[in-house]
Amino acid sequence: MRSVDDHLASVLARIQPLPPFEQHLLDAHGHRLAEDVVAPRDVPLFDNSAMDGYAVRRIDVVGADQESPAVLTVTQDIPAGTATEAEIGPGECARIMTGAPVPRGADAIVPVEWTDGWSEGTVRVHRVPEHGGHVRHMGEDIQRGQTLLTVGTVLGARQIGLLAAVGRDLVAVRPSPRVVVISTGSELVEPGVEPGPGQIPDANGYTLSAAAREAGAIVYRVGVVADDPKLLLDTIEDQLVRADLVVTTGGVSVGAYDVVKEALSGLGTVEFDRVAMQPGMPQGFGVVGPDEIPIFTLPGNPVSAYVSFELFVRPAIRKLAGYEDDLHHPVVDAICTAGFGSPGGRRQFARGVVGPAGSGGRIEVRPVGGAGSHLMGGLAQANCLISVPEEQTRVQAGDLVSVVLLDEAREVLAMMGER
C-alpha cells in the first residue's frame, strides 16, 4: 500500500497546467488572468470637463461675483465626443459638456450653475473656479505603463470594466478545466427514476459533478455506464474530445464485475493502487488517449468517492487551472468533542462538523455519521474531514486533531475571524 501523501504527490507530478489562451473580455469573466496587465494608455485619455458648463481662462473671471459678473464671449460649443483645435483667447470661453476635451487655452471649467445660463453669444460668470477646477486631468486615474492587474487575479465585473476602460479587448486567461464525470455500475439509475429490484440512484455522478464545479471546473456529467468493459472504453474514448480530466467511480475493487479496472488495466497507462486510507483505499490514476488526458478512477462507495475527490482530484483540477499554491483545502487543528476508533496503518478521514469552541477563539470538531463509506447522511451534515494519522487507532474526546476544511467550514471559520 502507498501512503496518501505519496499518491497525491505522484498524481500532481503528472498534471501540467493548461496553457493560457486569449479571450475576449466577457468570455474572460470569472477566469484567472495569465498575464500582468499594463495600462496601454492613460485614463482619462485627455483633459476633460467634469461638469456641463463653460471652459474658461481662469484669469478672465478672477474677482467676478453676483454684483459684478465677468462677461465672456462664447466662441465654441464642445459636446462630448468632439474635439477642437481652436484655442480659447482672452475674454473668450467655450460651452462644454461633461466628458468633452478641454480646449487649448482654457484652464478651468465654470459649471453652468455659476453663470446666467446657456448662451450663444455672451455669458455672465458670477463665481470663480479654482485653478484647474472641474477639469479631469489626463492620467489622473491610471497612467500608461502602470500595472493594473496581476497574474492570477480572478476577473470579476470591476476588473473586466477596468480592462475595457483602458481599451483592452483580449486578455490571456487560464481556461477552466473541463472535467468529464462517469459513473459505472449496472445497479445505477438516474435520480427521478423509480429504482427497480437491486437498483439504486447514481449519487456519485452528482456529488462529483457538483464538487468539480466547486473546484472551478466546467463539468460534463456522462450518465451511468453499465458494467461492460467495451462500453466503458467506448464511452471514455467518445468523451476525450471535451475532457481535460476524466473521473470515473466504481469498479475498481476486487469484485467479479469491477470493469473499470479490467478495461483500463489493458491500456497500460493507468495504475491501480491500494492507498493506505479509510475511506477510499482502491485508487486508480493514469492517462488515456493520444493527448494523454489524466483519468482518476475513484472507488464506488459514495463517501470514498467524495473524499478521494476532495483529496486528489480537486488539487489536480486546480493545478490544471494554473494555481501553484493553494491547491489543497486548508487544514487546521481542532479539539475533538467525542472519541472514535480508527484503523491502524491507514489514514482515516472521518466526517466532522467544525466550529467555534465557546468564546476562547478555539476551534472544536464534532464527529458526525459513522465510519461506513456508504453513509451519505453524515457526509451531508459534515463541513470538514478529521484526518487521523496512520499509526493512531483511537481519538479520545479532548484530543487535538487535524481537520481538513471543506468549503462551508472555511466560511464558518472566516466569519469567526479564525483564519
* Residue ranges binding Mg ion (CB under 5 A): 185, 250-251, 300
In whole angstroms, the minimum distance from the beta carbon of 255 to ligand AMP comes to 5
42 contributes a contact to ligand AMP by CB under 6 A: no
**Quick one: what does residue 44 bind among ligand AMP, Mg ion, none, with the CB cut-off 5 to 8 Å set by partner type?**
none
Instruction: Quote the CA–CA distance of 226 and 229 in Å, as a whole number.
Output: 9
Question: Please, what is the minimum distance in Å from the beta carbon of residue 301 to ligand AMP?
Answer: 4
Per the CB < 8 A criterion, the answer to whether 185 and 223 are in contact is no
Looking at beta carbons only, is 44 or 280 nearer to ligand AMP? 280
Q: Which of 53, 216, 251, 378 binds ligand AMP (CB under 6 A)?
A: 251
Smallest distance, Å, CB 277 to Mg ion?
A: 19
Contact predicate 217/249, CB 8 Å: no
Q: Tell me the number of residues near ligand AMP by CB under 6 A.
A: 19
Residue 216 or 251 having the CB closest to ligand AMP: 251
Q: Collect all residues with Cβ–Cβ distance below 8 Å to 417 and sequence separation of at least 6.
A: none
Binding mask 291-330 for ligand AMP (x = CB under 6 A): --------xxxx----------------------------
The whole-angstrom separation of Cα 168 and Cα 171 is: 7
**How far is Cα 75 from Cα 55, in angstroms, rounded to an integer?**
10
Provide, rounded to whole angstroms, the least separation between the CB of residue 185 and Mg ion: 4
What minimum distance in Å lies between the beta carbon of 334 and Mg ion? Answer: 35
β-strands 92-96, 135-136: how paired? unpaired
Entry field: residues in the chain: 419
Residue numbers 148-207 binding ligand AMP by CB under 6 A: 183, 185, 187-188, 200, 202-205
Binding footprint of ligand AMP on the chain (CB under 6 A): 183, 185, 187-188, 200, 202-205, 249-253, 255, 299-302
